[in-house]
Amino acid sequence: MNLNLTTKKIDTDIEIILVKNKKIKADEKILKSLNFKGKDEEAVLVLESKRIYVGCETYDADNIRIAIATAIKKFNSTNFKSLSIKAKDNLSAIIDGFELGNYTFTKYKSEKDEDQKQDKNIYIEVEVIDKKVQKEFENAVSICESVNMVRDFVNTTPEDFYPNTMANEAIRIAKENNLECKILDEDYLEENGMGAMLAVGRASRHKSKLIHLAYKPKKAKKKIVLVGKGLTYDSGGLSLKPSEFMVSMKSDKSGGCAVLGVMNTISALDLPIEVHGIVGAVENMIGGDAYKPDDVLTARNGKTIEVRNTDAEGRLVLADCLCYAQDEINDIDYIFDFATLTGACVVGVGHYTNGIMGNNHKLNYKVVHNALKSGELATTLPFNRYLKKTIKSEIADICNVSNTRYGGAITAGMFLDNFIKDENKKKWVHIDIAGPAYVESSWGYNPYGASGAGVRLAIEFIKNI
């Protein structure tokens, strides 16, 4: 699919017509006979007038994204080659709809639809193409390409995508975008007392990697650090997951992949913000060398952790990665972590919404606001002193699981708080993306599987710093 901006009306095979508010203004008879009502996610092809009509009940950005995604799918089911649509003040939402709605994951299919898609031309008609419009176009395309890259990473199987693969992708991203890049191995983790992260990866045949990318523009005004959980597979470890919960755990690297996605776009956006991307790439497996419930681990900041469940591994990896970030980077303005951290977050807020946590209410709400603006769903989950007591340990500084079955998303967030330095307490936000990162059915303009959650949220926040 090739997206083009144009100011001229181009005679294409098909034109998309958004039907707002169910108001049908042309082709009434045909549309009636096709039983087209103009509802959201409803599209019909009218050959007589060479149009795809698609319902778009209101013109808010998310409805437009979904309408365009519905239309491009309809178009892809035909052999027509060119398509056009008129844009008003909704250019980036239209681009999101095309780019994100057109995504399919065919790596493991013997018959691929890629070739057929490649020679399709799409023209978005705008009034003028000035610098601002051109930039809006380029930025939206670049962000969507990164979201789709993240979807590809997350959808790739654990046999084909393990910590070293993730490190190699980071190196490629750094080269292509002129970023600083450090890949640290298990010797480094050992030497720096990162015993929590190290323990999680011990039973895997794949060595753990700590990835650190940095974008450092000359006139940076602020500094943000993004930390991602990169569990390339989470079997649960010795606290083994039941088989029905283990399927889809290739998606446990979504937080780390989202961080890589942001780093893949950040330099193109040309913002005066220093951005660091840190990923703990680890595989949680079983074996004679596996870490165990009852182990006590020591994290990089010296805190001891009683392990009572090896399936609560993401917080162990993040604990050390958060310590690393705060030791290595000074004068941080914001530190965010992205993780498919808890099933409890999915239970609490459903599959489509990110859980936003931290010690700074105002900042939490800012993140929610930016998430919604970017097209991601998010809500805050507030910490409280009572739940905090449930992760105390009798034998170590802290326990990796709570003693209550309720409030698991929040207790996981409060566990991480133990690894945030005092000076950064109000600068830190924890983003649990367990719900939206991977859904086993399509939703809106998101396909079955990985959605690329976190990327647009983070970029929108950084743009508005």
* Active site members: 241, 315
Among 11-19, 59-67, 152-160, 341-349, the segment contacting ligand BES (CB under 6 A)? 341-349
Distance in angstroms (rounded) separating the CA atoms of residues 219 and 231: 34
CB of 148 to ligand BES, least distance (A): 21
Question: Between residues 129 and 296, which has the closer beta carbon with respect to ligand BES?
Answer: 296
Q: Which of residues 384-413 bind ligand BES (CB under 6 A)?
A: 401, 408
From the list 434, 455, 457, 462, which residue makes contact with ligand BES (rule: CB under 6 A)? Answer: 434
Residue 28 burial (10 A CB sphere; 0-12, 13-18, 19+): exposed
Distance in angstroms (rounded) separating the CA atoms of residues 317 and 315: 5
CB of 450 to ligand BES, least distance (A): 12
Distance in angstroms (rounded) separating the CA atoms of residues 249 and 241: 10
By CB under 5 A, tell whether 337 contacts Zn ion: no
Phi, psi of 356 (to 5 degrees): -110, 125
Return the exposure string of 308-331: e unless at least 16 CB atoms fall within 10 Å of the residue's CB, then b.
Answer: bebbbbbbbbbbbbbbbbbeebee
CB of 229 to Zn ion, least distance (A): 7
Task: With CB under 6 A as the rule, give the number of residues binding ligand BES.
Answer: 16
Instruction: Please count the other Cβ atoms lying within 10 Å of the Cβ belonging to residue 259.
Output: 31
Asked whether 280 and 321 are in contact (CB, 8 A), the reply is yes
DSSP 395-451: SSSEESS-SSSS-HHHHHHHHHHTTS-GGGGGGEEEEE-TTTTEESS-BTTB-SEE-
From the list 277, 314, 375, 436, which residue makes contact with Zn ion (rule: CB under 5 A)? Answer: 314
DSSP tag of 108: T
From the list 42, 99, 169, 234, which residue makes contact with Zn ion (rule: CB under 5 A)? Answer: 234
Q: Tokens for 336?
A: 């965010």
By CB under 6 A, tell whether 337 contacts ligand BES: no
By CB under 5 A, tell whether 311 contacts Zn ion: yes
Among 21-29, 42-50, 335-343, 442-450, the segment contacting ligand BES (CB under 6 A)? 335-343
Report which residue's Cβ sits closest to ligand BES: 343
Question: Between residues 325 and 339, which has the closer beta carbon with respect to Zn ion?
Answer: 339
What's the one-letter identity of residue 175? K
Q: What share of the chain is helix, strand, coil (3-state, %, to 5)?
A: 40, 25, 35
Q: Where are the alpha helices (DSSP H) in 34-108?
A: 61-76, 91-101
- 84's contact among ligand BES, Zn ion, none, with CB below 5 to 8 A by partner kind, is none
By CB under 6 A, tell whether 283 contacts ligand BES: no
Q: Which of residues 242-271 bind Zn ion (CB under 5 A)?
A: 252
Question: Between residues 290 and 434, which has the closer beta carbon with respect to ligand BES?
Answer: 434
From the list 12, 76, 340, 359, which residue makes contact with ligand BES (rule: CB under 6 A)? Answer: 340
- 217's contact among Zn ion, ligand BES, none, with CB below 5 to 8 A by partner kind, is none
By CB under 6 A, tell whether 252 contacts ligand BES: yes
Task: Enumerate binding residues for ligand BES (CB under 6 A).
Answer: 234, 252, 309, 311-314, 340-344, 346, 401, 408, 434
Task: Enumerate binding residues for Zn ion (CB under 5 A).
Answer: 231, 234, 252, 311, 313-314
